[in-house]
Chains A and B, each alone.
Chain A
Amino acid sequence: MSDPTLSFDEAMEQFDPVLGFEVHVELNTKTKMFSSAPNAFGDDPNTNVNEVDLGLPGVLPVVNKAAVESSIKIGLALNCEIAESCRFARKNYFYPDTPKNFQTSQYDEPIAHDGWIDIELEDGEVFRVEIERAHMEEDAGKLTHMGGATGRIQGAEYSLVDYNRAGVPLVEIVTKPIVGAGRRAPELARAYVSAIREIVKNLGVSDARMERGNVRCDANVSLMPKGATKFGIRSETKNVNSLRSVEHAVRHEIQRHAAVLAGGGTVTQETRHWHEDTRTTTAGRPKSDADDYRYFPEPDLVPVVATREWVESIRAQLPEPPAERRKRLKAAWGYSDPEFRDVVNAGVVDAIEETISAGATPAAARKWWMGEIVGRAKVADVEPAELGVTPEAIVELNGLVEGGKLNNKMAAQVLDGVIAGEGTPTQVMEARGLVLVSDDGALLEAIDSALAAQPEVAEKIRGGKVQAVGAIVGGVMKATRGQADAGRVRELILEKLGVNA
């Protein structure tokens, strides 16, 4: 049963959306937040656990210093204040994903607070999203529901629990309410999560693979009548775990809320479950007593004190923010807006940067990556960088073309050879016998034959129709099996016919 919705346009005519996001980022430390068990994905069940992760009696958690540093890095990258001192807290609840019956988290003392990031939408419009806080906590174990018809909890007879993920370090990033996005709210939602993902990946603190749950988003949506300032009642759609889903979930919730409100109803404050197949949400549990988590300071852990020296030494290690880097590269390379957007969307910014520093011009680097390699990657269904074409190979190949040793058609064949692992461009060229014929003697012979074969075309050219020369060039290229230097052929033909081009 899907809920009634208004169309997005109808919803936007009557209401202003307010958004809020909680994004969980799994850190890629070697060990867990509070134990020395490995933090690894995809291993056999319960092989990455020790007594601390299982919440056995008498254990003592100890904080992973690298996880704290990663958390500070995230806070700094989000322009947050870093707390001089902060504590962990116990969030108490009963559910088998947490063997201790509490999650060690932070409550009133997050390590980072009061930050912001600027989110640029595709057309260049910028929204500033304010960050309420970023706090440290631990991930929960993974439940698999068994015996039900669909593997869902409804109808399940029992659940199996793997605690490999229990205790994996998490940073939860919480925004302040985002007002004023209007009809761009769904786009902004996607762009925000995308920016967080890019930032943590760029910092090197998370693998940031959404399909593995490294970055997970809970999306809060409420509506208020146009022009109002008092927020409406919100819903929280949990675990929206792809960029596309975030955009669709926000759009759906806007349309669903609008239908409720336009019909004179009241939105229920509740969590919602996202369903990728139907692109709709269904009601989860309402906010209730179950949310009484009885937070209290974790007595087994002592405060984390971030001295200014420590924070500044971490700040000094931060890489250039992705958005600033893009701006700098676009200006340096002289690409147009659409050219640069295509490069970004194709995921070859790094590759082009490396190719340019290996000696190619920005134009040449773009030509090879966007014109040749991206298309081949698409056919092979891999990332462009995974085809194994090195920046050096591209520079060499480009040099062969510019030096008149290869034409573009032959260069494409050489590139295929390089991708097939046949060696460097020069080695492939030699092994495949690809030699551009620019020896005038050999070319003139082929030109004579081509002119003789098409005397009427030769007449036209003599009569001044220079563009007809293409037909003769084509004949020569065919006779030389594509290995002639087309530019030189053209010159020689015109010379022979006594025409000034």
Chain B
Amino acid sequence: MAEITRDDVAHLAQLARIEMSAHELDRMAGELAHIVDAVKSVSEVAAPDVPATSHPIALSNVFREDVVGHVLTPDQALSGAPDADDHRFKVPAILDEE
């Protein structure tokens, strides 16, 4: 079985900005290990001669010409915003990078 530690889960939770209790961390460590194992079963059928893919269909070069198309109005753009001011999205001050 895959080894997912409590610390791994805490790290993931932090990256995903999800607050988890001590109990949840313990429980999720076990559950995640099962999930990883389930996903890992793919490798049982994918032989080394099967290249990794990021898309189910073998397509490439799906392009768009550089022509201006659909644009929203500011009111439309902001219609789903929890808060707005001066035609801009209003968000809490987040001390991160500047």
Contacts and interface: CB of A to CB of B under 8 A. Distances in A.
A405 to B, nearest CB: 51
Contacts, number: 145
Interface residues of B, number: 40
B23 interface: no
B94 A304 contact: no
A271 to B, nearest CB: 7
Contact of A64 (B15, B63, B78): B63
Contact of B66 (A29, A92, A144, A290): A29
B84 to A, nearest CB: 8
Given A96-B89, A302-B62, A152 B70 contact: no
Contacts of A29: 66
A85 B62 contact: no
A156 B98 CA distance: 12
A162 B88 contact: yes
Contacts of A285: 96-97
Contacts of A144: 88
B9 to A, nearest CB: 14
B45 interface: no
Interface in A462-496: none
A59 to B, nearest CB: 11
A21 interface: no
A24 to B, nearest CB: 14
Interface in B61-92: 61-74, 77-78, 80, 85-92
B60 interface: yes
Contact of B54 (A87, A156, A304): A87
Contacts of B87: 44-46
A284 interface: yes
Interface string A132-156: 0000000000011111100011101
A212 interface: no
Given A153-B98, A299-B54, A46 B68 contact: no
B47 interface: no
Given A156-B93, A285-B97, A302 B69 contact: no
B72 A49 contact: yes
A48 B87 CA distance: 12
A303 interface: yes
Given A47-B71, A161-B88, A152 B60 contact: no
Nearest to A56: B80
B77 A163 contact: yes
A289 B70 contact: no
A118 interface: no
A305 B63 CA distance: 11
Interface in A77-111: 85, 87, 92, 94-96
21 contacts: A31-B66, A31-B69, A44-B87, A46-B78, A46-B87, A50-B71, A54-B72, A62-B63, A62-B64, A63-B64, A65-B64, A96-B94, A148-B93, A156-B93, A158-B92, A161-B88, A161-B89, A285-B96, A292-B11, A298-B54, A302-B57
Interface of A: 29-31, 36-38, 44-51, 54, 56, 62-68, 85, 87, 92, 94-96, 143-148, 152-154, 156-163, 238, 271, 273, 284-285, 289-290, 292, 294, 297-299, 301-305
Q: Considering the complex of A and B, which 9 residue pairs feature the smallest CB-CB distances, nearest first?
A: A36-B69, A297-B54, A66-B66, A65-B63, A160-B88, A161-B89, A156-B93, A62-B64, A305-B60
